[in-house]
């Protein structure tokens, strides 16, 4: 059975800048969007919000769903990466709560698209997807009869 890793990522944009998180992997500083794995007891939107807070200190709800990327990493690990977007009025201070994150930076799209130190090609592809203007409502990927949602079993029997 095919079992890809399910991850979420969020493009955070404000005043022409995009938020990237920097982490050191194998001695090299690499950039990514706030991103991580889906946990068993959360929805995709909850996972995106949690990862955003853990990696940047920003507590914000994703506003849009942009795209689902099906990808196989160079080590042959398969991924399904759900990409969200948040548009902020202003760039803001960040405070990563995840010890794997060294710092956060606000940079323009060209800096990301031309960077040679991205965690994966999906970082640049996510910016390209955002720049196309595609925005889908979060309900596009809504949960159904989710057991962790309050009241899901109400009114039964």
Residue 148 pLDDT exceeds 90: no
Residue 55 has pLDDT above 50, yes or no: yes
pLDDT bin (cut points 50, 70, 90) of residue 157 is very low
**E-strand stretches of the chain:** 5-14, 17-25, 28-32, 35-37, 64-72, 78-87, 103-107
Q: Of 7-21, 85-99, 117-131, 139-153, which gets the smallest average pLDDT?
A: 139-153
Cα–Cα separations (whole angstroms), residue 93 to 19, 23, 56, 103 = 11, 17, 9, 11
- The residue to which tokens 């889906």 are assigned: 38
**pLDDT at 143 (0 to 100):** 84
Q: Provide the β-strand partners of residue 25.
A: 28
Is pLDDT of 156 > 50? no
* pLDDT value at residue 144: 82
In this prediction, residues 135-141 reach a mean pLDDT of 93
Average pLDDT over residues 5-12: 98
Report the distance separating Cα 54 and Cα 99, nearest Å.
9
Lowest-confidence pick of 16-20, 51-55, 65-69, 143-147: 143-147
Which CATH code of 3.90.1300.10, 3.30.200.20, 3.90.79.10, 1.10.600.10 fits the domain covering 5-139? 3.90.79.10
Would you state the pLDDT for residue 77? 93
Residue 45: per-residue pLDDT: 96
Average pLDDT, the chain: 93
Domain ranges of the chain: 5-139
Residue 155 has pLDDT above 50, yes or no: no
68, pLDDT greater than 90:
yes
| pLDDT at residue number 150 | 60
């Amino acid at each position: 059975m095919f079992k890809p890793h399910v991850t979420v990522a969020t493009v955070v944009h404000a005043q022409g800048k995009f938020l990237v998180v920097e982490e050191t992997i194998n001695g090299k500083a690499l950039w990514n969007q706030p991103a991580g794995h889906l946990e068993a007891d959360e929805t995709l939107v909850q996972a995106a919000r949690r990862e955003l807070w853990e990696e940047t200190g920003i507590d914000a709800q994703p506003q849009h769903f942009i795209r689902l990327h099906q990808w196989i990493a160079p080590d042959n690990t398969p991924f399904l990466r759900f990409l969200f977007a948040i548009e902020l009025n202003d760039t803001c201070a960040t405070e990563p709560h995840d010890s794997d994150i060294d710092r956060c930076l606000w940079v323009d799209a060209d800096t990301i698209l031309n960077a040679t130190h991205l965690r994966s090609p999906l970082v640049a592809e996510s910016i390209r997807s955002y720049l196309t203007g595609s925005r889908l409502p979060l309900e596009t990927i809504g949960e159904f009869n989710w057991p962790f949602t309050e009241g899901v079993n109400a009114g039964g029997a």
